[in-house]
Amino acid sequence: MKPAVILLSGGLDSATVLAVARRDGFACHCLSVDYGQRHRVELELAAKQAKLQGAAEHRVVQIDLRAIGGSALTADIAVPKSGVGADIPITYVPARNTVLLALCLGYSETVEAFDLFIGANAVDYSGYPDCRPEFLSAFESLANVATKAAVEGQGRYRLHAPLLHMTKAEIIRLGTSLGVEYVWTLSCYDPDAHGRACGECDSCRLRTKGFREAGISEATV
C-alpha cells in the first residue's frame, strides 16, 4: 500500500477524508496537531478515529500557537455565536493551515509519502482564506520545491482535498456510506469541559444544517 499523510483534527471533515484515503487504498499516516486550541477534546477523537478506521499510524505534534495569538481559538477572545457571517471570523487562526500542512510535509518525508490529504472545504465553511483552492494549489507548488524528497526526484507531492467542493450534507452522505462513525467526531469551536458541543458557534451551525440536509440523524451515526 502506498503511504499517505492525513491531517486529522477529530472533526467531521477530516474523519471523512481519512475514510476516502482508506477507500483509495492508501496506508494512512495520520497527523494531529495540539496547537493550544480551545477544543482539545478533538485530539482524543482524532486518536479514536485513527484506531476505528485502521490507520497505519497516528502522531501528535505539540505546538504552542498561543505564543502568537490573534484568534478566538488560541487567545482569550470569545467565540462568536450569532451565526455564520460574510467576513472572515475571529476564529481564524493566523496562518493555521500553512503551519499544519508544513508539519504534514515534514512528516511525509519521514514516512516517504507524497500524498497529503486535508479536509478543507470551500462551500459550507467559515470563509477562512487557507481553505480556498488557490491556497491549496500554492501549497502543493511549495511542497515540490521545499523538500529533500522532491529535489532529489523521489516523487511529486500531491495535495488531496476531496471535500473541497462538496456541501456539508454531501460530505456526511459520503462518510456515512464509507462507515464513518460521526458520533466520534466533534466540530464545535467551544465545547464545554465535558466535550459537549455548544450548538451555537459557526461550526456547530454548519454541522447541524449538514445533517438536516442529508436527512441523517446525528445520533444514529
* Contacts to a second copy by CB under 8 A: 59-65, 67-70, 88, 92-99, 101-103, 105-110, 128-130, 132, 134-135, 138-139, 141-143, 145-148, 150-152
Closer to a second copy by CB, 108 or 203: give it.
Answer: 108
Shortest reach from residue 215's CB to a second copy, in Å: 34
- Give 63 or 164: the residue with its C-beta nearer to a second copy: 63
Residue 97 contacts residue 120 (beta carbons within 8 Å) = yes
Contact 74, 40 (CB under 8 A): no
| 110 versus 177: smaller Cβ distance to a second copy | 110
Instruction: State in angstroms the smallest separation of the CB of 89 from a second copy.
Output: 10
Residue 68 burial class via C-beta count within 10 angstroms: exposed 0-12, middle 13-18, buried 19 and up: middle
CB of 48 to a second copy, least distance (A): 19
Kindly list the distances between the CA atom of residue 22 and the CA atoms of 16, 46, 117, 161, in Å, as whole numbers in the listed order: 10, 15, 11, 14
Q: Minimum distance from CB of 131 to a second copy (Å)?
A: 10
Write the DSSP assignment of 156-186 as a string of letters: --EEE-TTTT--HHHHHHHHHHTT--GGG--
Shortest approach of a second copy to residue 101 CB, angstroms? 8
22, 28 Cβ separation under 8 angstroms: yes
- All three cell numbers of 173, joined, read 452522505
- Residue 89, amino acid: P
Closer of 54 and 69 to a second copy (Cβ):
69
Name which of 14 and 126 has its Cβ closer to a second copy.
Answer: 126
